[in-house]
Amino acid sequence: MNRARAFVNDSYRGGAGRILTDNAAFTPEYLNAALEELQDKIRNNGVITLIKDNYILSPITALPAPDPAVQVFVSYQGFFNGVEMVPLPCLPSDLRTIEKVWERQTGSGLPFKRMTQPQEGLPSQFQGQWLGVWEYRGDALYLCGSTITEDLRIRYESQQAVITASDNFANTEIGILASVNQLATLVAYNYARARGSPGLQVLAADSDKQMRYIVRRYTRRAQSIQYTRKPYGQDGGGSYWGTGGLPF
């Protein structure tokens, strides 16, 4: 915020500003808008800063009996086990969308097996000892269910918590490294746009330039990884029952 104030020439009172102050009613809105835009930009450019992995959802309890009409799901509110909603497990509060899911029998200590996503929703089938497939819809993780209790391991994109007027900006952490210039420029842009500033094009150009710097940092890191095309008909992850193919 100090840098954003400097960009709009409001570094009065030792940097606290006279208009774009921390306690102004519009400041959290400008800051959250900038933060949301930054996160959307880095996701769209494949930056992995917001990826979280190896989050365990357990237990995904067994169904009382196989029934093709039953689906279970894990949401932010808890777990629907096919009969009732229970508070745990639940999705992490910072989850934006799920990328990958693995499964294993609870208490087995075995490696997790990769699950697959069907193209047109979950199949209608009698449940067995594997969940096999998953679908993310309605902000919840849907499954066909299993006849044994299982653990899920998920990899997901996270979302920075919303900043409120009551937050102490000095103690609020933004989990995106080297993003001060980008965030400050976006805050300055939102502030200047509301006031009809003639400098909007300059701020927009600066924002694009700073975004390229962030993306290049991760692009160069990714260039050190060897990539190969996935074989036709496989997901490349040793997924469904170790075959790598679809379950139906």
Q: How long is the chain?
A: 248
pLDDT at 235: 54
pLDDT at 44: 87
Is 128 in a helix, a strand, or coil?
A: coil
Angle at 43 between CA 155 and CA 218, to 5 degrees: 90
pLDDT at 170: 85
How far, in Å, CA of 29 to CA of 50, rounded?
Answer: 21
Name the nearest CA neighbour of 139 among 60, 75, 89, 51. Answer: 75
Share of the chain above pLDDT 90, in %: 72
DSSP structural state of residue 69: T
Q: Where are the alpha helices (DSSP H) in 50-174?
A: none
Q: Is the peptide bond before 111 cis (omega within 30 degrees of 0)?
A: no
Long-range contacts of 6-13 (CB under 8 A, 24+ apart): 6/184, 7/184, 7/185, 7/188, 7/203, 8/188, 8/191, 8/192, 8/197
Residue 139 CB neighbour total at 10 angstroms: 12
Using alpha carbons, list the distances in angstroms from residue 160 to 14, 31, 103, 115.
29, 12, 27, 27
What would the mean pLDDT of 212-233 be, rounded to a whole number?
76
Is the pLDDT score of 80 beyond 80? yes
130-188: pLDDT as tens digits: 999 999 999 999 999 999 999 999 999 999 999 998 898 888 888 888 899 999 999 99
Reported as a pLDDT band with limits 50, 70 and 90, residue 19 is very high
Q: Which residues, 6 or more positions from 246, have their beta carbon under 8 angstroms from its beta carbon?
A: 116, 118, 240
